[in-house]
Amino acid sequence: MPAPARIYFAAGCGPCQRARAFVERRRPTGLQFIDAQEYPGGLWRLRYESDSGIRADGIAAVARAFSHAGPGWAALGALMRLPGVGWLLQTCADALGYGPRYVGPETEIACRIPRRS
């Protein structure tokens, strides 16, 4: 059983809420869901933080969350964190609209897409 942990998803952000619902349907134990707007300093991707000091962002955070959902999901999460596999999954997720978006306590629009200069 992994150490208790928190995962931060942006409230009011469609892609973040769909990802949160997917993880919640796995019924993870020892995992607390918190709105990213409450994270000090803001976030660019969803974040996982465990009491044992593990921190992961984006797809790696979802993979870590799967370790709280039973052995089958934990095995999938471990596969997702493999070098190369994690990068490919994050690249695909970014292309599908799950890329970096800033959210913080001062954000008026949840999960604002960064402007390109």
Tell me the domains of the chain and their CATH numbers: 5-98 (3.40.30)
pLDDT, residue 11, reads 85
**How sure is the predictor about 102, in pLDDT bands with cuts at 50, 70 and 90?**
confident
Q: Are 84 and 59 in contact (CB under 8 A)?
A: no
Find where tokens 């208790």 sit. Answer: 4
Tokens of 19: 């990802």
State the average pLDDT over residues 75-81.
97
Angle between helices 71-80 and 59-66 (to 10 degrees): 150
State the average pLDDT over residues 33-53.
92
Cα Rg for the chain, rounded, in angstroms? 14
**How sure is the predictor about 91, in pLDDT bands with cuts at 50, 70 and 90?**
very high
pLDDT, residue 115, reads 58
CA distance 108 to 22: 25
